[in-house]
A and B are shown apart, each in its own frame.
Chain A
Amino acid sequence: MDHEAAKAIGAGIAVIALAGVGIGIGNIFSSLVTSVARNPSARDQVFGLGILGFALTEAVALFALLIAFLILFT
């Protein structure tokens, strides 16, 4: 197997982590929708928390993406 092919496969494997991130973000927003539906007046407080959780989860996706980019471009 030549070098370039191995790089492409490695980058592909590196972004498998995105499966977990997808589950996580789906979870956060489903909980957000549920809680707003139960208590619409709490929307402002819960929304900030949801966005914070989204940012923290999304960071994990970007770690994986960064590793993939490092494999591909360096």
Chain B
Amino acid sequence: MAAGEASIDALGQFKLHTVFGPIGASVNFTQSNLLMVVAGALTLAFLYFGAKPQAVIPGRLQAAAELAYDFIYNLVNDQIGHEGKKFFPFVFTLFFFILFGNLLGLLPFTFTFTSHIAVTGALAIMVIVLVTVVALSIHGWKFFSYFWPHGAPIALAPIIVPVEVISYLSRPVSLSIRLFANMVAGHVMFEVFATFMVMMAGAGVIGYVGAVGPLALNVILMGFELLVAALQAYVFAVLTCIYLHDAVHLH
């Protein structure tokens, strides 16, 4: 980008391109897919090497793996209750896939696959289909009483039932957009402030001094984004647990 007449191209960083040359291009293997594979492999490696030593006094990696296991286990147990144990692997996988996706995206020259609504939407649809299937298999037709709060006057049925159905169907939308918007907004903010830096540096010697401002802001933002990356993975997992609780217990 030529200094001085720079323009902000904030959304260009989310463009997909294929990797691994002609082989990757023939199967449309993009950098987003590559990062997903890396995130999955990192999760597996983290748990494999964390669980391998089985020391009584855990080393650093084992302590981290045990801490992560305990964290999600307590979350699932607190939110869903005793029946939550069989959903633990699902929530654990979901949490770590999103966490590694968010964190890998913060490294230079990588790509945040959670910044594409196609990815987060697929995850959210997976969650909502699972929740509905679980609710139907446990409660059968009684599941549909979920859309009818106890003790509501019968005259309000035409209003309450559509509202409850819409709020149920809007869950995957809000779940996917929350994660996607957080990631996109963070990365666009990086890009905007980085462009400010280039623009200021183009203005001469005074600009070099002024460019320290956006640089410092970007450093602070990076810390904030680390928080957001972990927090959004946590929120996704917590909301999945809350929906599963509703499915298991109906209200």
Contacts and interface: CB of A to CB of B under 8 A. Distances in A.
B184 interface: yes
Contacts of B181: 59, 62-63, 65-66
Contacts of A69: 10-11, 184-185, 188
Find the residue from A55, A58, A63, A74 having the highest chain B CB count within 10 A: A55
A63 B177 contact: yes
Given A56-B235, A69-B188, A74 B182 contact: no
A9 interface: no
A51 interface: yes
* Dominant secondary structure of chain B at its interface with chain A: helix
A69 B186 CA distance: 11
B161 interface: no
Contacts of B178: 56, 59, 62
17 contacts: A52-B234, A55-B232, A56-B178, A59-B174, A59-B178, A59-B181, A59-B182, A62-B182, A63-B177, A63-B181, A66-B181, A69-B10, A69-B184, A69-B185, A73-B10, A73-B188, A74-B11
Interface in B182-222: 182, 184-185, 188
Contacts, number: 40
B211 to A, nearest CB: 22
Interface in B5-24: 8-11
Contacts of A55: 231-232, 234-235
Nearest to A61: B185
B231 A73 contact: no
Contacts of A62: 178, 181-182, 185
Nearest to B11: A73
A51 B184 contact: no
Contacts of B177: 59, 63
Contacts of A59: 174, 177-178, 181-182
Interface in A47-73: 51-52, 55-56, 58-59, 62-63, 65-66, 69, 72-73
B10 to A, nearest CB: 5
A28 to B, nearest CB: 14
A58 B231 CA distance: 11
Interface in A2-23: none
A74 B4 CA distance: 22
A62 B8 CA distance: 19
A5 B174 CA distance: 31
Interface in B166-187: 174, 177-178, 181-182, 184-185
A59 B178 CA distance: 6
Contacts of B185: 62, 65-66, 69
Given A62-B182, A63-B181, A69-B188, A52 B10 contact: no
B13 to A, nearest CB: 11
